[in-house]
């Protein structure tokens, strides 16, 4: 990974995952949701995949260190923050009603 990719990837993937989960939730509350497909199970699976991807990014940053200390420290911090944000923003999927 190049330095800029190491720094930019964690929060970029978090943003994409956040948008995808809540777009999926909006679709689930619309009349366009496929009959017979469980909304809650689908959202929980998407949230679990979201957290898994963020975990893999953090592990990739940790186990393939950069040659530059600043890049490595910044990438590690941002990957950890993105993982924490993924968990935090996925909690409403598990705890709240899907269509309020």
Torsion-angle region of 36 (φ positive above 0: left; ψ -120 to 50: alpha; else: beta)? left
Asked if residue 14 is part of any domain, the answer here is yes
Asked if residue 45 is part of any domain, the answer here is yes
Total structural domains within the chain: 1
Tell me how far apart the alpha carbons of residues 76 and 62 are, in angstroms, rounded to a whole number: 7
Share of the chain above pLDDT 70, in %: 98
Tell me how far apart the alpha carbons of residues 76 and 65 are, in angstroms, rounded to a whole number: 9
Q: Give the structural domain span for 82.
A: 3-95
48-69 per-position pLDDT tens digit: 999 999 999 999 999 988 888 9
- Residue 1 banded pLDDT, cuts 50, 70, 90: low
Reported pTM: 0.89
- pLDDT, position 79: 96
């Amino acid at each position: 990974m190049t330095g800029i990719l190491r720094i930019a990837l964690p929060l970029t993937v978090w943003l994409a995952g956040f948008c995808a989960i809540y777009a999926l939730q909006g679709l689930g509350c619309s009349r366009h949701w496929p009959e017979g497909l469980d909304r809650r199970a689908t959202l929980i699976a998407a949230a679990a995949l979201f957290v898994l991807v963020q975990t893999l990014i953090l592990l990739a940053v940790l186990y393939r260190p950069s040659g530059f200390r600043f890049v490595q420290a910044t990438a590690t911090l941002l990957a950890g923050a993105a993982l924490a944000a993924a968990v935090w923003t996925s909690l409403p999927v598990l705890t709240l009603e899907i269509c309020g």
